[in-house]
Amino acid sequence: MAETHSLPKPRLRRPGFWRELLNSAFFIFAALVFSELTFPRSSISGSSMEPTLWGGNHLLISRVSYLVADPQFGEIAVFISPDAKAEMLIKRVIGVPGDTIEIRRTSAVDASGFEVYDGEIVRNGVVLDEPYFINRPCNNCYDRTWTLGENEYFFVGDNRNRSNDSRALGPISRERIVGKAIFRYLPFDQFGTLR
């Protein structure tokens, strides 16, 4: 009877403990950097977007959204202010390239008999229906018209009386837009996507 020889099984090389630890640390670091580059976090510190967003809200911002598509009318987005502070602002997109945005200052008499002023926003000849704009009257809305050029966007805060936006800053160029606000993760009772 022929003698059978069993071949020795090859030994798997197992990385050492320190190499495994280093690989894991690198993977976690790369994942964190990737998530911060694609979905940075942002927090609201003012009242310019009330009642949609409140101070203390924490949001996820999607940079990816504006890598594959342009900002759309009605979206809430983060951009870098063109003024000397160059701070990050979060506002609503009211105008996109090619739009004509007009603010019409209107007056009315309130129940006390006082004349109050308000401002309606007209986009391409149509008065905007803005259910989120509840802090009326707008006491810093003045007659003015902007025609947006290529790669220009118009941003306005939902709380017009407390917002530093395109009414003062002018149209915002596309390269200043950081990303789209997509998700609120704090406070927990408001957890969910932004519409």
Active site residues: 48, 91
Helix (H) or strand (E) holding 26: helix 17-38
Spatial separation of the C-alpha atoms in residues 80 and 89, rounded to whole Å? 6
Spatial separation of the C-alpha atoms in residues 100 and 124, rounded to whole Å? 5
- DSSP codes, 47-107: STTTTTS-TT-EEEEESTHHHHS---TT-EEEEE-SSTT--EEEEEEEE-TT-EEEEEEEE
- The structure tokens 């990303």 sit at 179
The contacts of residue 138 (CB under 8 Å, 6+ apart) are 117, 118, 119, 160, 161
Spatial separation of the C-alpha atoms in residues 141 and 157, rounded to whole Å? 12
Q: Is 124 left (phi over 0), alpha (psi -120 to 50) or beta?
A: left
